[in-house]
């Protein structure tokens, strides 16, 4: 499950490494902590201090400018889109073109890799989670349906997932082999292209350029050959989208609300995650 070679899409390899180890939600960490508390009979310490978690949702132009200038001075080429204040004083959540979001300080001189965790409540809280989820929800909703390969629910649609996928990924194929069961549970699957290497780019483009994308996807997922085809397609754009959402491997499954619920998950667990 190695991430795609970002140089294919003209991204700075240095910056890709610099921001390669980023958080992706805290649900698993919180569950693990909860299990640990159960097995060791630890009682959480009550926090008597009120934490102000309300922050402005507006980007700070001065931080954006400072980051842009400092990155350029260090020979790193990218475009900073926004720098939004977090609940941690003088700490900002930054989005950049084709990259996972990251933290930076107010001066724009320091990029922080990893998680920032608020403690003192019953469980530790990853302060980036709501920011990531909101951004993912907006970006995924903006993708046109005609740019995806969609396997609709059978009967009433009770839930929707977005799945970044690759033609040759073993767990992607495993997920696809359960498509009937997933659809039977009322779940619509919206595939987005995320080839993990340059070698699979032509395969993904062939699927997206096929007259019947669903049939082509079925063929590719079963190990068959899809007839080579070229056309204007959204594969590169969807790779950029995935990188911006922090996708580092396939499959990567998101809900309509923007929450990443996992890589491969069996149909029953997907249904549970969607509250079905």
Question: Is residue 17 located within the same domain as residue 134?
Answer: yes
Report the range of poorest mean pLDDT among 23-32, 120-129, 173-182, 194-203.
23-32
β-pair partners for 162: 190, 254
Question: Is residue 104 located within the same domain as residue 214?
Answer: no
Q: Is the pLDDT of residue 91 over 50?
A: yes
Confidence bin at 56 (pLDDT 50/70/90):
low
Question: Is residue 242 located within the same domain as residue 147?
Answer: yes
HSE of 103, CA atoms in CB hemisphere, 13 A: 21
CB 31 within 8 A of CB 123: no
- Which entry of 11, 26, 126, 169 is annotated as an active-site residue? 169
Question: Is residue 177 located within the same domain as residue 102?
Answer: no
Which is more confident, 114 or 187?
Answer: 187
Q: Is the pLDDT of residue 104 over 70?
A: yes
Mean pLDDT of the region 256-273: 95
Of 110, 139, 168, the last residue of a domain is 139
Examine residue 192 and state whether it is found in any structural domain, yes or no.
yes
pLDDT of 221-239, one tens digit each? Answer: 999 999 999 899 999 999 9
pLDDT of 162-213, one tens digit each? Answer: 999 999 999 999 999 999 999 999 999 999 999 999 999 999 999 999 999 9
User: For 8-60, where are the alpha helices, taking DSSP H only?
Assistant: 13-18, 27-40
Q: Are strands 187-193 and 149-151 parallel, antiparallel or unpaired?
A: antiparallel
Question: Is residue 181 located within the same domain as residue 133?
Answer: no
Question: Is residue 165 located within the same domain as residue 264?
Answer: yes
Confidence bin at 7 (pLDDT 50/70/90):
very low
Q: Cα torsion for 205, 207, 212, 218, to the nearest 10°?
A: -170
Q: Is the pLDDT of residue 256 over 90?
A: yes
Number of domains in the chain: 2
Q: Which of 7-16, 55-64, 160-169 reaches the highest mean pLDDT?
A: 160-169
Active site residue 231: no
Examine residue 124 and state whether it is found in any structural domain, yes or no.
yes
Question: Is residue 154 located within the same domain as residue 259?
Answer: yes
What is residue 246's predicted lDDT score, i.e. its pLDDT? 87
- Which entry of 190, 196, 213, 248 is annotated as an active-site residue? 196
What is residue 177's predicted lDDT score, i.e. its pLDDT? 97
Confidence bin at 24 (pLDDT 50/70/90):
very low
Mean pLDDT of the region 2-14: 38
What CATH number should be reported for the domain holding residue 206?
3.40.30.10
Q: Is the pLDDT of residue 67 over 50?
A: yes
Examine residue 15 and state whether it is found in any structural domain, yes or no.
yes
Question: Is residue 95 located within the same domain as residue 132?
Answer: yes
Question: Is residue 129 located within the same domain as residue 152?
Answer: no
Q: Is the pLDDT of residue 46 over 50?
A: no
Examine residue 194 and state whether it is found in any structural domain, yes or no.
yes
Active site residue 26: no
Question: Is residue 113 located within the same domain as residue 153?
Answer: no
The whole-chain average pLDDT of the chain stands at 82
Q: Which domain holds residue 55?
A: 6-139
Mean pLDDT of the region 61-89: 93
Active site residue 168: no
Examine residue 1 and state whether it is found in any structural domain, yes or no.
no
Question: Is residue 16 located within the same domain as residue 99?
Answer: yes
Examine residue 219 and state whether it is found in any structural domain, yes or no.
yes
Report the range of poorest mean pLDDT among 76-80, 231-235, 269-273.
76-80
Mean pLDDT of the region 106-132: 90
Name residues whose C-beta falls within 8 Å of residue 139's C-beta, 6 or more positions apart in sequence.
241, 244, 245
Of 139, 155, 180, the last residue of a domain is 139
Examine residue 102 and state whether it is found in any structural domain, yes or no.
yes
- Which entry of 172, 190, 209, 248 is annotated as an active-site residue? 172
Examine residue 33 and state whether it is found in any structural domain, yes or no.
yes
Share of the chain above pLDDT 90, in %: 65
Does this model's pTM top 0.85? My answer is no
Q: Which of 29-33, 126-130, 176-180, 243-247 reaches the highest mean pLDDT?
A: 176-180
What CATH number should be reported for the domain holding residue 54?
3.10.450.70
Of 105, 139, 173, the last residue of a domain is 139
Q: Across the chain, how many H-helices and E-strands are there?
A: 10, 11
Question: Is residue 135 located within the same domain as residue 148?
Answer: no
- The set of long-range contacts for 105-111, using a CB threshold of 8 Å and a minimum separation of 24, is 106/60, 106/63, 107/66, 108/63, 108/64, 108/65, 108/66, 108/67, 108/68, 108/69, 108/70, 108/83, 109/66, 109/70, 111/18, 111/19
- Which entry of 126, 166, 190, 248 is annotated as an active-site residue? 166
């Amino acid at each position: 499950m190695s991430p795609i070679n970002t140089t294919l899409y003209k991204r700075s390899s240095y910056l890709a490494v610099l921001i390669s180890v980023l958080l992706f939600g805290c649900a698993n960490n919180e569950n693990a902590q909860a299990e640990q508390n159960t097995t060791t009979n630890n009682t959480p310490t009550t926090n008597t201090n009120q934490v102000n978690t309300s922050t402005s949702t507006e980007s700070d132009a001065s931080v954006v400018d400072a980051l842009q200038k400092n990155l350029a001075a260090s020979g790193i080429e990218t475009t900073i889109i926004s720098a939004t204040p977090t609940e941690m004083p003088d700490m900002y959540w930054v989005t950049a073109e084709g990259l996972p979001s990251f933290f930076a300080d107010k001066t724009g001189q320091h990029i922080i890799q990893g998680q920032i965790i608020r403690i003192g409540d019953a469980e530790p809280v990853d302060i980036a989670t709501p920011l990531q989820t909101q951004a993912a929800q907006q970006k995924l909703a903006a993708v046109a349906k005609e740019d995806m390969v969609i396997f609709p629910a059978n009967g009433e649609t009770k839930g929707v997932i977005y799945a970044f996928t690759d033609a040759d990924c073993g767990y992607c194929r495993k997920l696809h082999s359960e498509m009937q069961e997933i659809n039977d549970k009322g779940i619509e699957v919206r595939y987005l292209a995320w080839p993990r290497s340059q070698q699979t780019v032509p395969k993904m483009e062939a699927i997206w350029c096929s007259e019947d994308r669903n049939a082509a996807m079925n063929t590719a997922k079963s190990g068959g050959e899809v007839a080579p085809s070229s056309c204007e397609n959204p594969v590169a754009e969807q790779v950029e989208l995935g990188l911006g959402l922090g996708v580092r491997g396939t499959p990567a499954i998101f809900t309509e609300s923007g929450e990443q619920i996992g890589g491969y998950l069996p149909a029953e667990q997907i249904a549970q995650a969607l509250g079905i």
